[in-house]
């Protein structure tokens, strides 16, 4: 795989030129970006793969939900539907996408909808009888047809965009200079004990503009498992665990379980994987082959919304994003933007 990526380097150069030209045309106004009256917060990244967008969206909902009617607009990656759809009691992860469905279940007070055309999606939201006061755009950093009011760029601690290269050789969707569009840059999935000196070194590497602020977050795992029953993580020492994941990067979770000295077997599937009947059969066979009587199937919250009801003894572990430093500064930055935007001041 690494060899194939290396020989694809000429295509990376071509892809970089194409995306740079596209961004230039938007920057100089030859291609138009729509601006909406409703405050819009974009959460995205420059790379493919998991940078922690869903936990960051959930953090923003928690931050603002008591003061504003919230909406989340996503494209609904790998959903089995098209066009604009709004989550309701009849919707499923297959129809709307796993991450929007997860957010819908967790925050029923928020409007959750999907549309690959974000311009159309925002227009539909603003036309509602009771429209949202704030719209969160999930994974829309490259969607230049909409000009977000506040842009949050995520990059992972282990794969900073300044150290990456363009697709297909690397993981970048656009050149690193695209980071200039962000008001806030968040380095995600950091070690919880990252030092101030290392943070300063990373900030130097990112070389933010004067009007940009850099923040650092880590993943926090819930110690209470949910699902078929409630179990505390500390109770799993004597369990045999079948770990099932369909996420971009399960390594932080597997490392976490190893650090807890838990005994698990891992079945790894592609990101946003739709579990077929054959997959369910494979999982059940692997579960039945576990020794002992204290056995469970453990998965992520994102995977759980795609497979619950299909497997017995299924549990999931949820995560949240935790600011290592300057949490209040970030919160105030977001609140001030929303308060000062039209319609909410």
Question: H or E element: which one contains 182?
Answer: none
pLDDT given for residue 95 in this prediction? 95
pLDDT tier at 228, thresholds 50, 70, 90: confident
pLDDT given for residue 67 in this prediction? 96
Q: Is residue 10's pLDDT more than 80? A: no
Q: Is residue 15's pLDDT more than 90? A: no
The torsion angle over the Cα atoms of residues 185, 187, 188 and 193, rounded to 10 degrees, is: -140
Question: How, if at all, do strands 70-74 and 134-138 pair?
Answer: parallel
Cα-flanking dihedrals φ and ψ of residue 207, to 5°? 50, 60
pLDDT given for residue 206 in this prediction? 97
> Two tokens at 170?
């690397």
Going by C-alpha positions, the residue among 140, 212, 142 that lies closest to residue 172 is: 142
> Two tokens at 188?
């995600």
pLDDT given for residue 345 in this prediction? 46
pLDDT tier at 68, thresholds 50, 70, 90: very high
> Two tokens at 278?
């054959």
Beta bridge partners, 322, equal 218
Q: Which residue has the tokens 């009888």?
A: 129
> Residues of the chain with pLDDT > 70: what percent?
97
- Number of H helices and E strands in the chain, helices first, is 11, 15
Q: Is residue 19's pLDDT more than 70? A: yes
pTM to 2 decimal places = 0.93
pLDDT given for residue 2 in this prediction? 61
What angle in degrees, to the nearest 10, is found between the helix axes of 53-64 and 98-106?
30
> Two tokens at 226?
């949910």
pLDDT tier at 342, thresholds 50, 70, 90: low
Mean confidence (pLDDT) of the chain: 93
**DSSP, residue by residue, 195-236:** -HHHHHHHHHHH---TT-EEEEEEEEE-SEEEESS-EEGGGG
CB within 8 Å of 191: residues ≥ 6 apart: 157, 218
pLDDT given for residue 344 in this prediction? 52
pLDDT tier at 12, thresholds 50, 70, 90: confident
pLDDT given for residue 343 in this prediction? 57
pLDDT digits 0-9 by tens, 22-67: 999 999 999 999 999 999 999 999 998 789 999 999 999 999 999 9
pLDDT given for residue 173 in this prediction? 93
Q: Is residue 222's pLDDT more than 90? A: yes
CA distance 139 to 320: 18
Going by C-alpha positions, the residue among 313, 316, 291 that lies closest to residue 303 is: 316
Instruction: Specify which of 13-22, 115-124, 269-278 reaches the highest per-range mean pLDDT.
Output: 115-124
By 3-state DSSP, what share of the chain in percent is helix, strand and coil, each rounded to 5? Answer: 35, 25, 40
pLDDT given for residue 118 in this prediction? 95
CA distance 59 to 53: 10
Q: Is residue 325's pLDDT more than 90? A: yes
Q: Is residue 144's pLDDT more than 80? A: yes
Bond from prior residue into 235 cis (ω within 30 degrees of 0): no
Going by C-alpha positions, the residue among 71, 87, 69 that lies closest to residue 79 is: 87
> Two tokens at 345?
């001041």
pLDDT digits 0-9 by tens, 150-208: 999 999 999 999 999 988 888 999 999 999 999 999 999 999 999 999 999 999 999 99
Q: Quick check: 214 and 203 in contact, CB under 8 A? A: yes
> Within the chain, which residue ranges are assigned CATH 3.40.50.300?
2-220
Provide CATH code, domain 2-220: 3.40.50.300
> Two tokens at 136?
């969160």
> Residues of the chain with pLDDT > 90: what percent?
83
Topology classification of domain 223-317:
Rossmann fold (3.40.50)
CB within 8 Å of 213: residues ≥ 6 apart: 183, 184, 185, 329, 330, 333
The torsion angle over the Cα atoms of residues 187, 102, 136 and 333, rounded to 10 degrees, is: -40
Q: Is residue 5's pLDDT more than 90? A: no
């Amino acid at each position: 795989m690494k060899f194939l990526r290396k020989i694809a380097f000429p295509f990376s150069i071509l892809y970089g030129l194409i995306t740079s030209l596209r961004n230039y045309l938007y920057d100089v106004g030859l291609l138009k970006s729509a601006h909406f009256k409703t405050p819009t917060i974009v959460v995205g990244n420059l790379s493919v793969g998991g940078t922690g967008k869903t936990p960051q969206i959930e953090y923003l909902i928690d931050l603002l939900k008591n003061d504003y009617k919230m909406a989340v607009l996503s494209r609904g990656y790998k959903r089995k539907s098209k066009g604009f759809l709004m989550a309701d009691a009849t919707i499923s992860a297959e129809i709307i996408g796993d991450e929007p469905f997860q957010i819908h279940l967790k925050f029923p007070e928020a409007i959750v909808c999907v549309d690959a055309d974000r311009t159309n999606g925002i227009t539909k939201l603003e036309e509602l009888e009771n429209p949202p006061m704030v719209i969160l755009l999930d994974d829309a950093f490259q969607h230049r047809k909409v000009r977000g009011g506040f842009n949050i760029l995520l990059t992972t601690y282990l794969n900073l965009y300044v150290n990456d290269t363009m697709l297909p050789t690397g993981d970048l969707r656009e050149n690193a200079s695209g980071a200039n569009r962000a008001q806030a840059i968040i380095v995600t999935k950091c070690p919880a004990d990252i030092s101030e000196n290392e943070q300063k070194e990373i900030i130097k590497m990112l070389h933010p503009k004067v009007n940009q602020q850099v923040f650092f977050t880590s993943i926090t795992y819930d110690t209470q498992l949910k699902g078929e029953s409630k179990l505390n993580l500390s109770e799993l020492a004597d369990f045999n665990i079948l770990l099932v994941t369909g996420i971009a990067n399960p390594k932080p979770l597997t490392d976490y379980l190893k650090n807890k000295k838990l005994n698990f077997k891992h079945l790894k599937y592609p990101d946003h994987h739709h579990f077929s009947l054959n997959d369910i059969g494979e999982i059940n066979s692997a579960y039945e082959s576990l020794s002992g009587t204290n056995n469970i199937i453990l998965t992520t919250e994102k995977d759980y919304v795609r497979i619950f009801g299909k497997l017995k003894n299924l549990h999931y572990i949820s995560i949240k994003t935790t600011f290592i430093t300057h949490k209040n500064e970030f919160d105030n930055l977001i609140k001030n933007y929303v308060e000062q935007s039209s319609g909410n001041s």
